[in-house]
Amino acid sequence: MTTTTSTKPYLLRALYEWCLDNNQTPHIVAWVNEHTRVPMQYVRDNEIVLNIGTIASHALTIDNEWIHFSARFGGVAHEIWIPVGHVISIFARESGEGMGFEVEPYQTESEKKGGDALHLVEKEQQETEPADPSENGGGKPKKGLKLVK
């Protein structure tokens, strides 16, 4: 049985291009955990909003596994690494148009192959899910966006 490539990175690249073609500024919202490399002081409720427009980001790459670019935060350069599966949404700042996605937690190759590491990732997800759905602290995407698998 062959595995198919996720549509998510293709949709991210397409919506990024759509924003640029329409003179709008693309932003992403990403779920943050130990696999995400972002300046932690800008993370709120396990999420970060990032401007990935051409002026704010340098050497942006959106491949099938990672979003990578460099950006300045408070005048300090940072290398940003986000697993594609961690993107919650991409939208145009000016119009709010965009798309929401389901979070797909990143797994290393050893986690994909070994049952113990995978079990720990699943357990971590359960622990981060809020007991009260009205709470907004669990690292799950906010409701109201169309989810795409």
CB burial string 74-104: b at 16+ within 10 A, e below: eeeeeebebbbbbbbbbbbeeeeebbbbebe
Confidence of residue 107 (pLDDT cuts 50, 70, 90): confident
Asked if the structure places residue 21 within a domain, the reply is yes
* 119 and 90, same domain (yes or no): no
Q: Are 146 and 5 in contact (CB under 8 A)?
A: no
* 32 and 99, same domain (yes or no): yes
* 32 and 70, same domain (yes or no): yes
* 55 and 117, same domain (yes or no): no
What domain range includes position 42? Answer: 8-104
* 125 and 65, same domain (yes or no): no
CB burial string 37-59: b at 16+ within 10 A, e below: ebeeeeeeebbbebebbeeebee
Confidence of residue 1 (pLDDT cuts 50, 70, 90): low
Q: Within 54-136, where are the H helices?
A: 109-113, 115-128
* 53 and 15, same domain (yes or no): yes
* 30 and 89, same domain (yes or no): yes
Segment 15-25, tens digit of pLDDT: 999 999 999 99
Asked if the structure places residue 44 within a domain, the reply is yes
* 92 and 116, same domain (yes or no): no
Segment 21-54, tens digit of pLDDT: 999 999 999 999 999 999 999 999 999 999 999 9
